[in-house]
Amino acid sequence: MKKHNFYAGPAILPSIVLEQAAEGIKDFANMGLSILEISHRSKPFEAVMDEVQALTRELMGLGDEYAVLLLSGGASSQFYMVPMNLLNESEKACYVNTGVWSTGAIKEAKLFGQIDVLASSETDHFNHIPKNYQVPSDASYLHITSNNTIYGSQYHWWPQTQIPLVCDMSSDILSRQLDFSKFSLIYAGAQKNMGAAGVTLVIVKKSMLGRVSRKMPSMLDYRSHLEKGSMYNTPPVFPIFVTLLTLRWIKQTGLSTLEARNKKKSESLYAEIDRNSCFYGTVQKEDRSWMNVVFRAHKTELESAFLDLCKEAGCVGLSGHRSVGGFRASLYNALEQDSVDVLIAVMQEFEKKYA
């Protein structure tokens, strides 16, 4: 039976990427060696690093004014690296709180300077993206989280600001066409749409670096990684290789095509949630995520029964986050429409049985 993978991350990868990655484990670049055992200083792997950076710039339409860094530590490491590199103790930065990950970013940033939380949807259980707030002009940067994996909300607009815009795009990067030049710094864990867990992408305007007066450990200074081409220390070789394969697939497929697919997948699933008498969505409609569709059953005692039906149909990874409950269907780039159609059919079967 085919498995329909709705896990929130690490997430589904294109089948061709899995095949090519498996081949690379056995024999990388016809070297007679595995990608897992070659030197990161070897010419074939240096070519991987160069191509990942070039493809990232191409797909995002970015010029040489941006540094493209491939780091380890996960996106959560950027919660402190961003303010450490961009914020002096005497300065302030602005944050918008839209969920668990922005909450974590705010907590870490407070270690490095004054943090103003301009808006938050926490009192409404993070069921929307805050709007109608003013961004001060004297802050070092504004930090937002573009997509909220746990609660299922997403930015479909960007704040108007004259200060640098910093964005955690971990769960929706390269899922749609954007003007990425609006951002001064973007960071993202690769394990949703870009590749395998273990590598973190950081894109930062070079002009943003070197502004703070504090002394920093070399490993936490973006400049160290820029100067060494993301090889200040041994990089996460295999996840970077998988990222290369995934970026090639994104380029071949086309970002506009992926955007259209992702929009269709989410719209079809939300339409069934709204139609089906057994379920309801948890996020305001204008802020619903295309990537993480969060919903509940009206009769919570039947939630396990629904998950059992999903399992029988080969649909996996649908349990909501432990802090939220209910259900979460993650619709990342590599998930096909037919998997969404199977889930919709299960929901309709559930309605016939329990409504």
- Strand 92-97 vs strand 142-145: parallel, antiparallel, or unpaired? parallel
Task: Measure Cα distances from 120 to 64, 90, 159, 185, 320 in Å.
Answer: 35, 24, 14, 21, 22
38-53 pLDDT tens trace: 999 999 999 999 999 9
Whole-angstrom distance, CA of residue 211 vs CA of residue 203: 17
Instruction: Label residue 1 by pLDDT band (50, 70, 90).
Output: confident
Q: Which residue has the tokens 């930090």?
A: 143
Packing angle between helix 255-275 and helix 337-354, nearest 10 degrees? 0
User: Is pLDDT at 118 greater than 90 in this prediction?
Assistant: yes
C-alpha angle with apex 314: 310 to 318, nearest 5 degrees?
A: 45
pLDDT in tens, 3-12: 999 999 999 9
- The amino acid at residue 324 is V
Cβ-in-10-Å burial (0-12, 13-18, 19+) of 155 comes to: buried
The CA-based dihedral angle spanning residues 328, 146, 9, 268, taken in that order and rounded to the nearest 10 degrees: 40
Catalytic residue among 50, 64, 168, 299: 168
Active-site annotation holder among 101, 172, 221, 290:
101
CA distance 28 to 270: 42
For residue 43 the two structure tokens come to 């010419």
pLDDT tens digits along 304-348: 999 999 999 999 999 999 989 999 999 999 999 999 999 999 999
- How far is Cα 355 from Cα 349, in angstroms, rounded to an integer? 10
* Spatial contact of 106 and 230, defined as CB atoms under 8 Å apart: no
3-class secondary-structure state, position 352: helix
Q: What is the residue whose two structure tokens read 């204008």?
A: 286
State residue 154's pLDDT score: 98
Q: How far is CA 120 from the centre of its chain?
A: 20
Q: Are 181 and 61 in contact (CB under 8 A)?
A: yes
Contact 175, 290 (CB under 8 A): yes
Q: Give one word for 132, left, alpha or beta, with left for phi > 0 and alpha for psi -120 to 50.
A: left
Give the pLDDT score at 11: 95
Known active-site residue 101: yes
Is 168 an active-site residue?
Answer: yes
Mean pLDDT of the chain: 97
For residue range 164-211, list pLDDT tens digits in order.
Answer: 999 999 999 999 999 999 999 999 999 999 999 999 999 999 999 999
Q: What domains lie within the chain, and their CATH numbers?
A: 15-253 (3.40.640.10), 255-354 (3.90.1150.10)
Can you give the pTM of this predicted structure? 0.97
CA distances from 261 to 42, 142, 155, 175, 245 (A): 38, 31, 18, 9, 20
Mean pLDDT on 56-73:
97
Query: In the numeric block, which tokens belong to residue 181?
Result: 């030049």
Would you state the pLDDT for residue 87? 98
Which residue of the set 2, 3, 124, 192 is catalytic? 192
pLDDT tens digits along 218-271:
999 999 999 999 999 999 999 999 999 999 999 999 999 999 999 999 999 999
Count the helix, strand and coil residues of the chain and give each as a percent rounded to the nearest 5. Answer: 40, 15, 45
What confidence tens digit (pLDDT) does each residue in 22-38 have? 999 999 999 999 999 99
